[in-house]
Chains A and B, each alone.
Chain A
Amino acid sequence: MAQIVIDSLRHSYDGNLSNPDALALKQIDLTWEDGRAYALLGPSGCGKSSMLNIISGLVRQTSGRILFDGTDVSDMPTEKRNIAQVFQFPVLYDTMTVEQNLAFPLKNRRLPADEIRRRVADVAEMLELGPLLKKRAAGLGAAEKQKISLGRGLVRSDVAAVLFDEPLTVIDPHVKFELRRKLKLLHEELGLTLIYVTHDQSEALTLADEVVVMAEGEVMQAGTPEELYERPSHTFVGNFIGSPGMNFIPCRADGERLAFSGGSLPLPPALSRKIVSGQSLKIAIRPQHLRHGQPRTERIAAQLVELLPRGDSYVADLRIGETAVAMRVPDDAELPSGELGVTFPPKHTLLYADDRLIGDLDA
């Protein structure tokens, strides 16, 4: 186990750093603390897999350094980095049995035979692969194959970190849930440092102690799931996390009020001072923080367009002025048809200037 530091990392697949827009990774500075579980979350093509391959050494970064416990490993080949990685699709050695597959990383490192046997048995038990150990790996189903791949990642106890590159993509949803839970358990039991790449926010939020959201080769925000959810530092994060994403209402500062199409809200002076003129402002609120029909509060008129069922709740598709806004409504709540008055609780109503969070309306 080790602390992994990424120091001003920049990467371009053609080796040319002169055009900043064409870079796969623009400027990354991150620290992965020992023994924590991290998720690297972002849409396809945002550079998260590149980042993982750079940490494991499969890809050499164009500039910047990777440090394991303070040692620069930038020029160290993958084999020497002492890192485990699990790929999106199961990678198995077809001619070997499940047991031989699990033992392979240890055998290559010339561990004593009884040690190998013990570790393989441990991993097989954790992943419930015990009955399959003597079987040929080639004939198994996708979920089992991926479990073996996971097992090969987990069998080495001394690794600096275990990297996962969307490992549950090929797994059925119900098995996925089970495996995810197991991974979390393993992480807690073994104290492994996990870096888990995914584009699935629920996977990231349930698995990780800390989530790093990436977009277009940049880190948008790194923080606990709560921080990302409640106080996204960038509008991208607000949109990307949550289903539906955060509501954003374009507005302008008008004295002590924030005015927008269809209404206005009070602007606290502390927040007002942070606004530089010329910035584009947006009010933001999560769908489940919006309230309606609350007495003695400042209400904004909204038109109900449609009520969309979400299983355990409804999402009301509203119009405030010209802006579409989503509001979560509990299953049993009655909604008046047509116009209703919605409330923005100041604590949960955030203000963004040029897409960056500057504070909430409770300030």
Chain B
Amino acid sequence: MHKTQDNRAWFLILPVVLLVAFSAVIPLMTVVNYSVQDIFGPGQRYLIGLEWFRETLRDPEVHRAFLRQIAFSGIVLAIEIPLGVLVALGLPRVGWKSSLAIVILALPLLIPFNVVGTIWQLYARPEIGFFGRVINDLGIVFNYTADPVSAWVTIVAMDVWHWTPLVALLAFAGLRSIPDAYYQAARIDGASRVAIFRYIELPKMRSVLTIAVLLRFMDSFMIYAEPFVVTGGGPGSSTTFLSIRLVNMAVGQFDLGPAAAFSLLYFLMILLVSYVFYTILQRISAQ
């Protein structure tokens, strides 16, 4: 077959090129641009290579924020995944009760992130918030504006409250997809409740739980609005996570160069973790 060579066809991909350029490439390149220069003012800029990257990687504040971030994601996952599965197991399986339970359960997911932060900022206040008052009345000193442990408890509790429903809904979907025959066979085989969970429910929930772990890890790793509203990263810098640290650098101190380098490193980190998880997911769905 004869092929017509017509370079005007390149114009057909122009809309996509423009779209990608303005949505991704140009903003990203702006950041790259900042990350390799030291800018003192308009017209006063010096190319400094990878200096900002080196500085960011050596910055002890960044190291601490990174460790806090890992600890936060770890704690949150360790609570939300088992709790979500437990909630899913306890949900009614059929009928209007099931629908009602799901609607109520899903409510926290519908609240905007900074509103969640505001809710908990008030809810956990030691003098007027219900949560804070109850804990203080139990004789435990609880003040998230002064005490790092209280601050962490508040932020973890908030994230658990906000996101466990997502895990529960995913786990519930997994449970619902198990045919009745499995439960019937388990009864015939004389399996205990624990054995049913271990050998039927858990394996059948495996793929949805993997998705839940991925989603929760990524989201908790990038958390910003809620802790920012509740503690602003304090007391001290005890709840300063990566994104809060980044914003402090870029907006608070106006250190655009180091902030740009930090952004790129943060982005690469997320990209790497996403890739690893994507590979795991692919492998699971291939089985």
Contact = CB atoms under 8 A, between A and B. Distances in A.
Contacts of A109: 190
A105 B179 CA distance: 19
B253 interface: no
A87 interface: yes
Nearest to A149: B185
A304 to B, nearest CB: 49
Interface stretch (B3-11, B47-55, B87-95, B195-203): B195-203
Contact of A91 (B185, B203, B287): B185
Contacts of A84: 188
A279 B187 CA distance: 49
Nearest to A81: B188
Contacts of B203: 93-95
Interface residues of B, number: 17
Looking at B191, B192, B204, the one whose CB has the most chain A CB atoms below 10 A away is B191
A79 B182 contact: no
Interface string A216-232: 00000000000000000
A95 B187 CA distance: 18
Given A79-B190, A84-B188, A152-B189, A108 B195 contact: yes
Interface in A135-161: 138, 149, 152-153
Interface residues of A, number: 26
Contacts of B187: 57-58, 77-79
Given A89-B181, A91-B181, A93-B200, A108 B188 contact: no
A93 B199 contact: yes
A96 interface: yes
Nearest to B187: A78
A83 B188 contact: yes
B188 A56 contact: yes
Contacts of B182: 91
B131 to A, nearest CB: 40
Contacts of A108: 189-192, 195
A96 B199 CA distance: 8
B46 to A, nearest CB: 60
A145 to B, nearest CB: 12
A53 B181 CA distance: 11
A105 B190 contact: yes
SS of B interface (majority): helix
Contacts of A96: 199
B179 A89 contact: yes
A49 B239 CA distance: 60
B285 interface: no
Interface string A78-118: 11000111011101011110000000110011000000000
Nearest to A78: B187
B200 A87 contact: no
Contacts of B189: 104-105, 108, 152
A93 B178 CA distance: 12
Contacts of A153: 188
A78 B188 contact: yes
A97 B283 CA distance: 20
Contacts of B179: 89
Nearest to A80: B190
Looking at A83, A95, A96, A153, the one whose CB has the most chain B CB atoms below 10 A away is A95
A171 B115 CA distance: 57
B184 interface: yes
Nearest to B200: A93
A77 B188 CA distance: 10
Nearest to A165: B181
Contacts of B181: 87-89, 91
A91 B189 CA distance: 11
Contacts of A104: 189, 191, 199
The 4 closest A-B pairs by CB, nearest first: A108-B190, A91-B185, A105-B189, A78-B187
8 contacts: A58-B184, A78-B187, A84-B188, A88-B181, A91-B185, A93-B203, A105-B189, A108-B189
Interface of B: 179, 181-182, 184-185, 187-192, 195, 199-200, 203-204, 287
Given A58-B184, A108-B190, A138-B287, 10 more contacts: A58-B187, A84-B188, A85-B185, A87-B184, A89-B181, A93-B200, A94-B203, A94-B204, A109-B190, A152-B189
